[in-house]
Structure 1
């Protein structure tokens, strides 16, 4: 999913909601190739050491099934798996050295592509209508979202998606700082995703983020009669090279929008949404009020 090119790309997995189009748990795209290569190396080192999968698992604190899944490229090994395997198999750092490749490949390709797009953005604007935007989510809020996904994710998948989402939030500390603006529907402040205390901590995170000089958060009250965002969520990103692209999500799909005419429509809609919402100052006061009620 690149910024260049003349058309709009399509993805098969959403990135900020909790849904996706796959029933199976296979790793996708180039991630699968990386994991298979890592798995083959671990298997070669294990066999060279004369250990069975169950023996390696017992030595590093993992089940035989997990070792098997890693060697077949079906599961992304965690850093401690690689470190312990390196130590037990006396690989001299060769297994542990794959941590960087695994760390990137653990994330779905569409998430990695979106993260690269966000890394190149000098300005990002996003309207969210059913849950907090992914860049604003706490870890426990994001975990609750992925845990409610149907068909259900496995624990490893949930861990991977949550880690990917948290990694994208490095954009807040980037220098020079991009301008980040968000418009959230009032319902996102009141829907108790993960329970009341998870929501309260999420609201506190919003207040912290909204006080940053390069971040503006606005709330769209439910009682607004005029609303330019009734067609759903949207995102507009201005890239370092002067390009502007749009990004939208719906059930099971996400779409990069690069056609200038379509991007112009999204920019117009987002501008109207911001004008119709509470101002950033009014929004922080509103969020404070909701925190007191939560």
Structure 2
């Protein structure tokens, strides 16, 4: 039986291969063939589908940590796969990266977000999102703005459909005082935040401007935990983004986020502040 393949049409939601992912895929393929397995024979041994194995070997999909650990054991890879995995990254742009992050969000059992630039996407109203995309440079067409607004709003089903997922949001106060889209849109946004913090699994805290310096002056933090208890992080910049799998870096971000929680207003004090901001609009 020959190795299975995945067509371009089947992998359009996956990022373009980076050199490091292709390197991991090539190393994995070499060890698998050395062991005498086809992808179909090998997949059940690591408890993944043959298509997933093919996608990883093509460098199209980031290998989960548990996949790497099982592959090391099944293929007796002498620690080589773990070594290559440490350097695996994707460097192909925000859209591809975010599609992968969005897929993980749908499975997450914990999702932590700190934002100092804008209201987190999962908490944005349609009007707020449209105002954000309307100021994008280079300018977007009306159809592009509508597509992005729709995609952002559609993601928000997570807050209602995943009652067992722990959502934690920390937002800088100045973000909420900026009248993005005008006072009417911002009042609607504040009211939406007050409603969103209702479910027991959603926690919203504001980092007050009076706090001054805090634990994450370096920028936003996004962390999530999968059902397999793996943690991942995601970081965005102006023209780049980074999907973080390094346990040391994730541990550092956890420490920063824990400190942020202690420095931000309590959920009750956050509600009071939001009500004051709404009243001033």
TM-score range, shorter chain: 0.5 to 0.7
| Aligned equivalent of 1:118 | 105
Is 1:251 matched up with 2:238?
A: yes
Contact 1:9 1:257 in 2 (8 A): no
| Aligned equivalent of 1:238 | 225
Distance 2:175 2:112 in 1: 17
Two-structure CA RMSD over aligned residues (Å)? 1.5
Contact 1:127 1:183 in 2 (8 A): yes
SS of 2:113's partner is strand
Distance 1:111 1:159 in 2: 18
Is 1:135 matched up with 2:122?
A: yes
Distance 2:235 2:224 in 1: 11
| Aligned equivalent of 2:159 | 172
Contact 1:257 1:263 in 2 (8 A): yes
Contact 1:128 1:234 in 2 (8 A): yes
Distance 1:134 1:9 in 2: 22
Map 1:12-31; keep pairs closer than 5 Å: 12-13=93-94
Map 1:1-294; keep pairs closer than 5 Å: 2=62, 4=64, 6=85, 7-13=88-94, 108-294=95-281
TM-score, normalisation: structure 2: 0.68
Aligned length: 200
TM-score, normalisation: structure 1: 0.65
User: Relative contact order, CA 8 A, sep 6+: which one is greater?
Assistant: 1
User: Structure 2 unaligned runs (5+)?
Assistant: 1-14, 16-61, 66-84
User: Structure 1 unaligned runs (5+)?
Assistant: 14-107
Distance 1:109 1:240 in 2: 23
SS of 2:219's partner is coil
Distance 1:244 1:110 in 2: 16
Contact 1:226 1:276 in 2 (8 A): no
SS of 1:121's partner is coil
SS of 1:180's partner is strand
Structure 1 runs of 4+ aligned residues shifted over 4 Å read none
Q: Deviations over 1:116-140 (max 9, x none)?
A: 1101110101000011000000011
SS of 1:223's partner is helix
